[in-house]
Structure 1
């Protein structure tokens, strides 16, 4: 699971703790802690649990898991299916549909643990995304999330996604391993688009 480093920094500041003070409470070096906040490395699950306890929060919040997004998604889809198929409210069939939707959503969350909350990301058209090199996307979760939202918005605008893919490869002059990484980003967004 990927840590939501922005939430971590905000929670630490709310508790009026310096990086050094929080690192001391966790029995780690300040540099190790700093790397978590900057997204350069990830804490162990054990340390995420300790962080949640020290910062008086939940592991879900530290991992950026938005339960309300999940339940909103399930409710919207359930309502649509119910209306289309004219299923009686609170019937067994409706409950089975809801369980299946929740199962599919949870599969997606497990497959892409650092999946962003798209509504919280500023949107930049993919044509305007500027990079020095593609490593910025690989190494920086915030930039990766902005790229994901740009691709999602292209999906929502019914753009030909193959054209978008080809455009980004040519614009950034990507190598084969970089193209594979970009493909995984497109796949994640495509699955998200299918699930919404």
Structure 2
């Protein structure tokens, strides 16, 4: 489980093995071993990874996976409500929500009908929608951005079929440029 979580975070933060090795203070072959053999680093390196990836050691080790699965099996209705509300708050259709989160339309329909999503599906929703698993399972209040410009950027990114554009556009937006300037920047 650790190797899958490590790869997930490396992909999320776009870290190469060499970059992560540099941040962690180990050799690139040590990172390769963690990814390929599933070897778990010592507690000091786990603490460093926790800070690098802004997560918990439990999550890195997969300790909370069973808890999450148990909650998923017992509270499908709550998860369905939370994810449906998330989609509606973002003003997305089911099809747009599926594209935005890199999942299938059928997965969105199933979730909204109370069928338990897979952990992989939840990870994608957490990553692309920028929410935590704890928000999805109701352990934390769902934090929804009520920003019209953000919603327009999301819609545009979906239309362009480019989720990475959202992150780029948000960085441009935070620099103070208007949505029109963002569109011009995208075309360049």
Please give the range of the TM-score, normalised by the shorter of the 2 chains: 0.3 to 0.5
Tell me: higher relative CO, structure 1 or 2? Use CA pairs within 8 A at least 6 residues apart: 1
Give the TM-score normalised by structure 1: 0.34
Query: Which structure's CA Rg is the greater one?
Result: 1
